[in-house]
Amino acid sequence: MKDLKQLSEAARVTEAWEDYIITKYGENKSSKETTAFRDYSNALETQPTVAAFYKENHEKQTLAHVLAMTEKYQSLDKAYLGVWEVLEILDGLVDESDPDTQMSQTVHALQSAEAARRDGQPRWMILVALIHDLGKYLYFEGEQQWTVVGDTFPVGCQFSNKIVHPEYFVRNPDYNHPIYSTKYGIYEPHCGLERVHLSYGHDTYLAMVCQNYLPAEALYIIRHHSFYACHTEGSYDWLLNEHDVEMMKWVKIFNQYDLYSKAEKEPNTEELKPYYQELIAEFFPEKIRW
Ligand SMILES: O[C@H]1[C@H](O)[C@@H](O)[C@H](O)[C@@H](O)[C@H]1O
Ligand SMILES: [Fe+2]
Ligand SMILES: [Fe+2]
pLDDT of residue 4 exceeding 50: no
Is residue 136 part of an annotated ligand binding site? yes
Closest ligand 1 atom to residue 152 Cα is 10
For the Cβ of 174 lying below 6 angstroms from any atom of ligand 1, the answer is no
Confidence of residue 20 (pLDDT cuts 50, 70, 90): low
pLDDT of residue 276 exceeding 50: yes
pLDDT of residue 31 exceeding 60: yes
pTM of the model: 0.91
For the Cβ of 96 lying below 6 angstroms from any atom of ligand 1, the answer is no
ipTM of the complex: 0.99
Are the beta carbons of 134 and 86 closer than 8 angstroms? yes
Alpha-carbon gap, residue 277 to 29, rounded angstroms = 25
- Average the pLDDT over 206-215 and give the result: 98
Is residue 97 part of an annotated ligand binding site? yes
E strands in the chain: 80-81, 288-289
For the Cβ of 136 lying below 6 angstroms from any atom of ligand 1, the answer is no
pLDDT digits (tens, 9 = 90+) for 112-126: 999 999 999 999 999
73 closest CA partner among 138, 155, 159, 166: 138
pLDDT digits (tens, 9 = 90+) for 226-270: 999 999 999 999 999 999 999 999 999 999 999 999 999 999 999
Which range has the worst mean pLDDT, 10-14, 54-58, 59-63? 10-14
- Average the pLDDT over 74-84 and give the result: 98
Query: 238 C-alpha vs ligand 3 centroid, how far in Å?
Result: 26
pLDDT digits (tens, 9 = 90+) for 138-176: 999 999 999 999 999 999 999 999 999 999 999 999 999
Confidence of residue 2 (pLDDT cuts 50, 70, 90): very low
- Average the pLDDT over 34-46 and give the result: 85
Are the beta carbons of 226 and 200 closer than 8 angstroms? no
Query: 181 C-alpha vs ligand 1 centroid, how far in Å?
Result: 25
In testing the pocket of ligand 1, which one of 53, 56, 149, 255 has its CB within 8 Å of the most ligand atoms? 149
Q: How many CA atoms lie within 13 A of 157 on its CB side?
A: 21
Average pLDDT, the chain: 92
